Structure 1
Amino acid sequence: MAQLIEDCLRIIFTELKNDSNSLYSCVLVNRYWCRIAIPILWKNPYNHKNISNKNKFYYTIINLLPTSSKQYLLDNNIDLPFITLSNQPLLLFNYISFSSQISSKFINNITKSLLKNEFDLDKYKKLENEIYKLFINNCKFIKDFCWETTQSLHKYSGASTCFSQLCVLTIDLQFVNSEALFGMSKICQNIEDLKVHYYSSKRDSLGLIKFLDIQRNLQSLYLHFKIKSVRKQSIQLSEVIKRKSVTLKKLIIGPTITLISPEFLPSLINLQHLEFTNSMYMSKKEIVEMQEWENYLSISSLPNLRYIKTGLCLPLRNDYKLIENSHGNIREINICRRRFNNKRDPLHSEKLIEVIPKHCPKVESLTIDAELKNLSGIREILLNCSQLKKIKLSSCNNKWRLIICDELLDILIKFSQNNLYSFSFNRWKFSVDGLKSFFENWRNKHPIIFNLYPDLGSFTIEHQVVMKKYVDEGVIKKTNCLEHTLLETNFRPQ
């Protein structure tokens, strides 16, 4: 019976894992509750935003430092509050040992706070080093880590145990150099999900390439370029991605894809998720490099592709060919240029709308550009994509303020299949009567999500009254049209 009670308490306390103040109150009830609740409270306390006394939290962690670390800090004139050199344990638990994560941001915050924001880089690095030692020596087999420090983590005595089972890793190359990556590659060889942030062209990428190459089961890769890379390193990076193609299922590159060679694209035969964006402004050299992307897009066949998204200002014309060569497995498409009219090619939209009904019978979510002249293509999509659940259409027509687009609503009523339940329209204009007719004809079907993102002048109080009527009657399950009283705050072009 006692075991049953403990199991029940553990379930209750787990439900409170994101409410640190309530969970802390449970700790104070009695020793029995405390023993059960403490491991849950300390499993990942670093993301809690409602900790009422952060200083007390920080002091608890500092007093877990070994005596040698405390003495080292005192010898370097780092005098921390409430720290004691006593060998007698002042704390009932080794709280750090319950932690499932190490947070670089948290360690940065605690270091700055304990130094009282004193700008002394030497003291900062020394204190940060001792805190990292504490966590790495006590945290076992963490799964997820965001690497945002210049400390040589791989050299710590507990690193081989702490990081050996790491499978989700974010690397910020502002802080992490090739030497550190070489060292960590000897410990971490089973990363499944890797995110890399580039910020400086001066950083040597050889360590990253080595780190990538040694991973045995890399399934997801996100490359975030904020700099102009060295072309040689760009090619090496492309080659290592090619070597990971057997396991790689998800690839995201941005915000500038021209900083990497696209030679890897045809090799991604097992890729399921592809997402890439590009900066709004490109040099002549980047325009030439973009042509290289166009060429590889036209010859690449990704038979297992399920999701594709291209950025709002990406001037690609051949991304639709990935859909054409996808073997009919795509579930979600998000391709539009709606925010940047000068980057939008009407012919591209026509081709995209033409290939979707032919090659995407399993698509469930669709976000594309469309105009009035594309309505027959929209009809074909509705007829042939029987699993479609969500559709979002964006218009870039400069004359859209003058055009009532009720014909689109008529097509949606006539040809939408039973799965479709979510509609979003960006910069489309409908009449009040057109909306009434649409919702009346939809009344006997399932409730829908209906979102509008029009210009300020195209959605009136009369439109709002209509929307509220059908929300109240249950025809519309959810809409953005009634979220604010002032339309100006809600209906801006997206």
Structure 2
Amino acid sequence: MIIFLLPKSSKKFLSDNIPELSLTEISDNKPLFNYISFFTQISPDLISGVSKALIYDDNKEYNNNVGERYKKYILNQEIYKLFINNCKGLKLFYWDTSHPLFKYQGATTCFSQLCTLKINLIFVTIGNLFDMIQICQNIKHLEVTNCNKNIEGLVDFINIQRNLQSLCIDFLAKEKLHFSIFRPLNDIIMKKASTLKKFTVRPFIRLLSPKILTSLINLQHLEIISDADFTLILGGSTMEVWDEYLSIASFPNLQYLEIYFNTDLFFTKDYMLIEKSNGNILEINIRREKLHDPIYTKILIITISKCCPKIKKLTINIEPENFEDLKEIFLNCTQLEMMSLSLDSEEHNGDKLLEIILDYSPETLREYSFFKKENSIFTTKGLEKFFENWKK
């Protein structure tokens, strides 16, 4: 259907360069209405899906040679031009291409109302970012993936935004990176921090300064994900310093908290964020791999039971020593709907855990799951009893 909407110039250009398409033989009769004008978002999957459907035979193996890549490039180019010239007010866009999109006809009209943008910095050049700055100045939700040492244009783009409310930084490190390279990024995040309601950083958190935490005064959603090799990061704050800033930071409007570590380094004071959340938290997801720490787990569970009366979803590690502590959450968090427990110890008496869930969980709890890397910790008899009596 999309090929019927291509202008004559695009059909001729593509037919000249990709003869097997034979687009000039297609009727110039267009659909009754231009459905592309109703699009509010464009994803790279949509563009690549259209090009693959046009250029590749399902029965023919795809060869990633120069000629095939060129065909794909120019076909994507003409499809992007078609969408950009016809979409009158995109709201969401995933920028995952090196095409100079903001130089295409209709770019100003197409992108001027954009409020959610995801940028893959592997493909986007400083020049393209500069072009985008001229058009997009009201982004509310920004996600940056594969963020590496080339951040000059990104800093300028973040700076120009008038009402940035959500920021996700996903770092990429294929070689050792020094913290100092990202100082301008730290500075601009600090400058914009007061308007941010959602903040996500992964997987190299030490490339940012923990001082940012104390500036996020209106934060409602926080994600700190660390599952990468820390030896690639030179300089920056230690995990102990991050921990101290977590104990200082206060997010009274916090509703969602996710902290995940898949390294030998981890936080020990993140529970203090929960203490200062004014009881507004609706979901907590705190997991730490490679760790058996029942003392920390007890503190976390007790803190949640005392400070999260509205919580609906909970994901945490659990140790055998803390099974009884779960009763406090069930008795005090009476709106809990979903619970997911990560079971890492080999000493679990799983049937005891099932009994506690069965006897103490609130009526609202309808979804539960257990993460266990190896064999099940539940006996057949224990599971039968649990499911026979669940929510009777």
Q: Which residue of 1 aligns with 2:375?
A: 455
Q: CA deviation at 1:416?
A: 4.3
Report the 3-state secondary structure (helix = DSSP H, G, I; strand = E; otherwise coil) of the residue aligned with 1:84: helix
What do you get for the CA RMSD once the two structures are aligned? 3.1
The TM-score with structure 2 as length reference comes to: 0.84
Residue identity in the other structure for 1:366: L
Residue 84 of structure 1 corresponds to which residue in structure 2?
24
Q: Distance in 2 between matches of 1:308 and 1:168?
A: 21
1:185 aligns with 2:139: no
Q: Which amino acid aligns with 2:328?
A: E
Alignment partner, residue 219 of structure 1: 165
Whole-Å Cα distance in 2 between the matches of residues 456 and 375 of structure 1? 17
Cα deviation 1:429-481 (Å, max 9, x = unaligned)? xxxxxxxxxxxxxxxxxxxxxxxx98347432x4454456457xx73xxxxxx
Q: Secondary structure at the match of 1:108?
A: helix
- The reply to whether residue 129 of structure 1 matches residue 39 of structure 2 is no
On the 8 A contact 2:163/2:195 being kept in 1, the answer is: yes
Q: Partners in 1 of 2:122 and 2:105 — Cα distance? A: 24
- Structure 1 residues 32-431: aligned runs within 5 Å: 60-75=1-16, 77-84=17-24, 89=29, 91-116=31-56, 119=65, 120=67, 121-198=69-146, 201=148, 204-227=150-173, 229-279=177-227, 281-283=229-231, 285=234, 289-313=238-262, 315-337=266-288, 340-341=289-290, 343-400=291-348, 403=349, 406=352, 408=353, 411-412=356-357, 415-426=360-371
| Cα distance, 1:399–1:191 mapped onto 2, change above 3 Å | same
CA distance 1:378–1:156, change in 2 (3 Å): same
3-state SS in 1 of match to 2:194: coil
Structure 2 counterpart of 1:30: none
Unaligned ranges ≥5, structure 1: 1-59, 428-452, 476-494
Report if the CA contact (8 A) 1:63-1:83 is conserved.
Answer: no
Aligned residue identity for 1:325: K
Is there any run of 5+ residues in structure 2 with no aligned partner, and where? 57-61
**CA shift digits 1:213-232 (9 cap, x unpaired):** 22222222222223255523
Query: 1:410 Cα deviation (Å)?
Result: 5.5
Deviation of 1:83 after TM superposition, in Å, equals: 1.6
Q: Which has the higher strand share?
A: 2
Cα shift readout 1:178-216 (whole Å, capped 9, x = no counterpart) = 2111211221122222221116x35x2111111112222
TM-score (norm 1): 0.68
Give the number of the structure whose alpha-carbon radius of gyration is greater: 1
1:317 maps to amino acid = T
Which protein, 1 or 2, shows the higher relative CO under an 8 Å CA cutoff with sep ≥ 6? 2
1:280 Cα deviation after fit = 5.2
Alignment CA distance shift 1:287-1:383 (3 Å): farther
Distance in 2 (alpha carbons) for counterparts of 1:318 and 1:168: 33
Q: Name the CA distance, whole Å, in 2 between partners of 1:372 and 1:78.
A: 64
Amino acid at match of 1:257: I
- Residues 44-93 of structure 1, C-alpha deviation per residue, up to 9 Å, x if partnerless? xxxxxxxxxxxxxxxx4234222223333455x33253422799545544
Q: CA deviation at 1:418?
A: 4.5
1:274 and 1:114 mapped to 2: Cα distance? 42
Q: 1:296 to 1:205 in 2, by over 3 A?
A: same
Task: Assess if the C-alpha contact under 8 Å between 1:332 and 1:365 holds in 2.
Answer: yes
- 2: CA distance between counterparts of 1:64 and 1:141? 18
Q: CA deviation at 1:149?
A: 0.8
Give the 3-state SS of the residue equivalent to 1:353 in structure 2.
helix
The Cα of 1:144 is off from its aligned counterpart by: 1.2
Aligned-residue identity in percent: 43
Distance 2:105 2:137 in 1: 18
Q: Is the 8 A contact 2:292 2:345 kept in 1?
A: no
Q: Post-superposition shift, 1:360?
A: 2.5
**Kindly tell me: are residues 405 and 144 of structure 1, through their superposed partners in 2, closer, same or farther at Cα, counting changes over 3 Å?**
same
Task: Output one character per residue of 1:338-392: Cα deviation in whole Å (capped at 9) or x when no partner.
Answer: xx33x44333213212322333233233222233433453333334334334333
Number of residue-to-residue matches in the alignment? 379
Distance 1:468 1:397, change over 3 A: closer
CA distance in 2: counterparts of 1:270 and 1:162, whole angstroms: 31
